[in-house]
Amino acid sequence: MSIQWFPGHMTKARRQVEEKCKLVDIVFELLDARLPDSSRNPMIHEIVKDKPRIVLLNKADLADQKWNERWIKEWNERGETPLLIDAKTGKGVGQISNLSEKVLETKFAARAKKGIRSRQIRAMILGIPNVGKSSLINRLAKRTATQTGDRPGVTKAQQWIRIGKSMELLDTPGILWPKFEDHLVGLRLAASGAIREEILPVEEVALFGIEFLQQHYPSAIQMRYQLGDLSAEPINLLEQIGQKRGCLRRGGVIDIEKAAEIFLQDLRGGRLGRITFERPDEERMKIEEENNQRIKNLDQ
């Protein structure tokens, strides 16, 4: 099932980004460390083309440390320049400027040979909604340079922001792609809070999250809610969560929607511990399967 979501301001935003991309030296691609591939806009290559790029894995403090390390290795193997950061606390953010200078060293040296005077690095920050762009910009600027919010789509316009003496940063609205052919990608994005809750039923997203925790982080859900049989169906565990959190309607009926909202708030806020929703091995296998299928189609 394809999930359609492409508000009008996002069509305009992509057009603006493509126009402004010519003005910058480097692009900061901001991803969610909990779901690096699912939070990556596949249109990014079309928009950025061969522009130098740094992949910033934000919210690393909410992601499983073991898988953070594996993802860094994965991105390096893909020929990317990755960096783990936490925009809220500032961890890793101080390395961005030096890493940018390193990535652009050859380009700026070539300019110097041509007699072109050095200037501030001009950078652009790109990422899907609610991945932490505004928080990162404010941390870099060391002031409230742009509005932040715990909901997707807070940034609606572009603005140049001075970052110290060595950099200017062009902020851009978050851009999602027109539709998600892979329903699992949509569920991961919804579980992380990147998609507005009206796009996917809150109960479906919560059940996805509970089932994922059952398989990969059973102790997290057990410790948070003191549940009984973790082998029960996800809907039964959601009902238990609702009962323990007092999500009851008249007659003692459990309010499943309210229970789902509470669970997702806990999941997104890190109250269930450090969770990573996808692993590089899974994504590599998926890519290999897709390539094998293409080869089969060509042989037919």
Grouping H, G, I as helix, E, B as strand and the rest as coil, residue 54 is strand
Q: Rounded to an integer, what distance in angstroms lies between the CA atom of residue 194 and that of residue 151?
A: 8
Cα–Cα distance measured from residue 39 to residue 49, given in angstroms and rounded to the nearest whole number:
18
| Bridge partners, residue 161, by sequence | 169
User: Contact, 96 vs 85, CB < 8 A?
Assistant: yes
Q: Which residues contact 39 (CB under 8 A, 6 or more apart)?
A: 31, 32, 127, 128, 131, 188, 189, 192, 194
DSSP 250: G
Instruction: List the beta strands (DSSP E) in the chain.
Output: 3-4, 26-32, 53-58, 82-84, 121-126, 159-163, 167-171, 179-180
Which residues does the annotation place in the binding site for GTP?
58-61, 130-135, 174
Q: Which residues are known binding-site members?
A: 58-61, 130-135, 174
Residue 262 backbone dihedrals phi, psi, to 5 degrees:
-65, -45
Cα–Cα distance between 29 and 125 in angstroms, integer? 6
CA-based end-to-end distance of the chain: 26
Q: Is the dihedral of CA 275, 281, 283, 289 positive or negative?
A: negative
Amino acid letter for position 219: S
Paired strand residues for 248: 254
Q: Which of 10, 34, 22, 37 is nearest to 152 (CA)?
A: 10
